[in-house]
Every structure is written in C-alpha cells, then in structure tokens.
Amino acid sequence: MEWVNLQQAFDAALRSAEVYVTSPWFYMQAGIILAAAGTALASASFLRARVDPASLGMGLPAPLRALIRVLMNRAGTIIFAILTSFARLVLVQTEILSRGYLLSTATSLATAWVIIRLATGLIRNDFVVRVVSLTAWAVAALSIIGKLDDIADALNSVSFTVGALRLTPLLIIKATVLLAIALWMTGVANKFLEVRIARSHDLTPSIQVLLIKLTRVLLIVVTIAVVMGSLGIDLSAFALFSGAVGVGVGFGLQKIIANFISGVILLADKSVKPGDLVTVGDSFGRISAMNTRYISVAAGDGREFLIPNEDLITQKVVNWTYTDKNTLVKVNFATNYDADPNLVCKLAVDIALGTPRVTKLKPPTCLLTEFAEAGMKFSLTFWIDDPYAGMDNVRSDVMQKLWEAFKREDIRVPYPVREIRVRGGALPVETIVDTSG
C-alpha cells in the first residue's frame, strides 16, 4: 500500500507538469531563460578575463577575499538570476504574463544556488562542498516548486522495521545529512580545541595529547547522540544491536583496543611523552608523535619507527630523558705502555671539556680500567644535555680530537702487527704477532 501511495504521488506530479508544459507561455519563458543563460555565460567569461580576484581583494581581510573569490566564480549564476528576475518583472508589469511562474522558479533556483555556494565557501574539502551544495539545492528546489512536503510524505510512507526502530527513506536521508553536517562542525570545533590545548604551557605534552584524544572521542559520541535524539530515534533501540556489535568488535579488534587502552595509560602515567629519547627493542630515537594506536619514533636518519602502544606496556623500554635530559656518553680507548696514564687522562678530560655539546655542570672523568696484553685501556665519560641531537656525532668529535692530541704528544695507540716468516722457502710457516704498536 505504501508503494502504491508513492506511485500515485509521482503520477499526479507528472500530470501537473504535463498540463503546464502544453501552455504556449511556457515556451516563451523557456526561451527567455535560455537567452538569459547564454548572456550570463558570455558576461561571466568576459568578467573572468578582465578581473583578477586576487588583485581585487588585495589588502582586504581573508573573509572578504574569500567572498570576492566565490562571487567571481558564481558571476554567471548571479547575472542569470538578475536577468530572469528583470525579465519577469517587465512581463508582469506589462501584463503580458500574470505570474511568470517558470521565470520566478528559475530566479529562485539560481539565487538559492548562489546563497548555498556562499555558505559552503568556508568548507575546505571539495567533495564535501559538492555533496552539501547539491543536497541543499535539491531541498531548496523542491521547496520552491512546492513539492517538498509531497516528496517528504511519500518518502516517509515507505518503511521497514529493525527491532523496535521504524526506518524510512526520509529518516535515513535526514540522519545522513544531519550527521554529515554535525561531524563537520565537530571537526572544526575539535581543531579549535586542539590549537587551544596545544598552546597551553601549563599542560605537559602527555596531558595535551590525552586531552586532545578524549575531547575528540567525546565530541563524536555527543554529536551522534544529539543527531539521533533530534530525529526522534530512541537510542535504547540500538541496545541489543550495539551489544552484539560490541562482542564482535571485542574479539575482532583486540589488538586495536589493547593499543588504544595502552595509549591512554601511557599518556596518564607519563612514562613516555613527545620529545623523549627512547630505546624499544632494536629501535632507538626521539618520540615525534603519540597516536591512538602507536607512537612514532624518529631515528634521526630519515626513518620513523611506528611502535604499537601495547609494546611499550609489555616490553622493556629505555627512556633516556625520563627524569633528566642529561645523558652519559662513554668513549673507550687504549694506549701503549710508553704513555703516561696521568697525561692521557688529563688530555682526555680537557678534550671533553672543550667539545661544544659537553655540559660543564657534570665534569668529565677518565679512568684507567685495565692493563691489557696490548696496552692500557681507558674509559672517558662525559654528559650531554641534548641527546635528541645525537650521541654518536659528539662521541666521534671527541675521538677525533683524542687522535689529534695523541699525535701531538707522541702517544701511540696499540694495534696488531703480523709478520709471516718462511723458513727454507717451504712450510711450516711461523706467525708472530706484535702488539706493541
């Protein structure tokens, strides 16, 4: 029966249109509309060739520049609306036409399109702009020709039931449109709040990321609940369905949920935070971002390790800057026995102190650690307060300066020297290793 009502409404609209099309005044108005459209296209092309929107809006605020750009893009539609409106006014005033319904409809549709495009000028996504513009214009067109209520009643007459919920095409269309608009507004509000939270110097990076994530989830949940409530949908009707979906999601998305919960825990306990220098397994680098599912660790050579949040909860993590940014760097080296160990330690400490990135708050130390077979072994340790800038490079600087100082002081570094002696021109071969340097 519902489909019969829909078919009857469509047939009635078709008969009404057929009667109007057979009128001679229809073709006169259609000709005027075609002439106005051609004139508008030519005028718009002329304006675009002569007027540059960028130069016209130079020095004006950003909203006015955007308005000028939209008006120039819609110049043809604006000219068309003006021409059809003027033509209708002349025909009605001269009593050639009594109403000029077709001209009035064309003017209203063109005006509605311009207003809709001006309203969607703030949206950056081109696909969203097209969808919103066409949807809003379709609704405006139906309202202008007086068929909006009829179409709405026809769409509402067809329904199917899911549990205690009655679904109709009209309800689905309303829910889709309202949800799309609400989610877009939620995204704008979320970006505004993210900027405000990120600029707050009273919050630590971990708390900032946690607040941003919680705000995003909360806004989405509230938006969906408000949209469903505004449409008169009883949210309790989804209780059984959401319970079944929840069980399925729980089994199918265990890792994703585990990583999400782990991410919340990491942000709450502040064990790691953006900017920390960490080692997780074989991965070493600075945390550049903390996301819902993973953290991003920049290795410093162009690579970024995406480590799941769960791994930071279950595995051993070395946080080089957890409580203190100062990091100990160790350089091991050796000299032969002809060198004075006191002089060697003094040279090493002076070199470390003279290196730019070595902090002076904690003085370097050099220890004689072993009398080995090849020579004396030393360990130079010093502190840096910017480990995120790299530790291998400062270690290399210190070792190069040590080498220059050893050359200058005639201190030799032991290295193995192998000699092969052949007796009588045949085997056996005796190998003698000299490690004196």
**Tell me, what's the pLDDT at 206?**
66
Residue 437 counted as domain residue? no
* Residue 115 resides in a domain: yes
pLDDT higher than threshold 70 for residue 2:
no
pLDDT digits (tens, 9 = 90+) for 309-360: 888 888 888 887 777 778 888 999 999 888 999 999 999 999 999 888 888 8
Residue 184 domain flag: yes
Give the pLDDT confidence score for residue 1 in this predicted structure. 44
Which range, 26-30, 73-77, 100-104, is most confident?
Answer: 73-77
333 shares a domain with 301: no
Looking at the structure, do residues 287 and 412 belong to the same domain, yes or no?
no
Q: Where are the alpha helices (DSSP H) in 74-168?
A: 75-93, 101-119, 126-144, 148-157
Instruction: Print the domain residue range for 273.
Output: 259-319
Mean predicted confidence (pLDDT) in 73-83: 82
In terms of pLDDT, which residue wins out, 166 or 37? 37
pLDDT of residue 219: 84
Question: Taking 60 as the threshold, does the pLDDT of residue 431 lie above it?
Answer: no
CA 358, CA 346: separation in Å to the nearest integer?
16
The CATH number for 374's domain is 3.30.70.100
pLDDT the model gives residue 403: 92
Beta strands per DSSP E along 185-250? none
> Which range is most confident: 77-81, 86-90, 332-336, 358-362?
332-336
* Higher per-residue pLDDT: 243 or 151: 151
Using 50, 70 and 90 to split pLDDT, how confident is the model at 381? Answer: very high
* pLDDT higher than threshold 70 for residue 49: yes
Q: Of the segments 91-95, 236-240, 310-314, which one has the largest average pLDDT value?
A: 310-314
Could you tell me if 263 and 248 lie in one domain?
Answer: no
Pairing of strands 294-298, 304-308: antiparallel
Sequence letter at residue 55: S
Stretch 251-259: mean pLDDT, rounded? 69
Q: Are 358 and 412 in contact (CB under 8 A)?
A: no
User: Which residue, 319, 347, 366, sits at the end of a domain?
Assistant: 319
286 φ/ψ angles, rounded to the nearest 5 degrees: -100, 135
Among residues 116, 239, 229, 245, the alpha carbon closest in space to that of 174 is found at: 229
My answer on whether 171 and 29 are in the same domain is: no
Residue 58 is classified by DSSP as T
The verdict on 20 and 131 lying in the same domain is: yes
CATH of the domain at 287: 2.30.30.60
In a domain, 428, yes or no: no
pLDDT tens, residue by residue, 382-405: 998 888 777 888 899 999 999 999
Position 366 confidence tier, pLDDT thresholds 50, 70, 90:
very high
- Say whether both 10 and 79 belong to one domain: yes
Of 300, 319, 338, the residue that ends a domain is 319
Per the structure, the count of domains in the chain is 4
CB 78 within 8 A of CB 71: yes
Q: Give residue 135's pLDDT band: very low, low, confident or very high (50, 70, 90).
A: confident
Do 15 and 137 reside in the same domain of the chain?
yes
- 79 and 21 in a single domain? The answer is yes
pLDDT, averaged across the chain: 76
Q: Are residues 147 and 181 in the same domain?
A: no
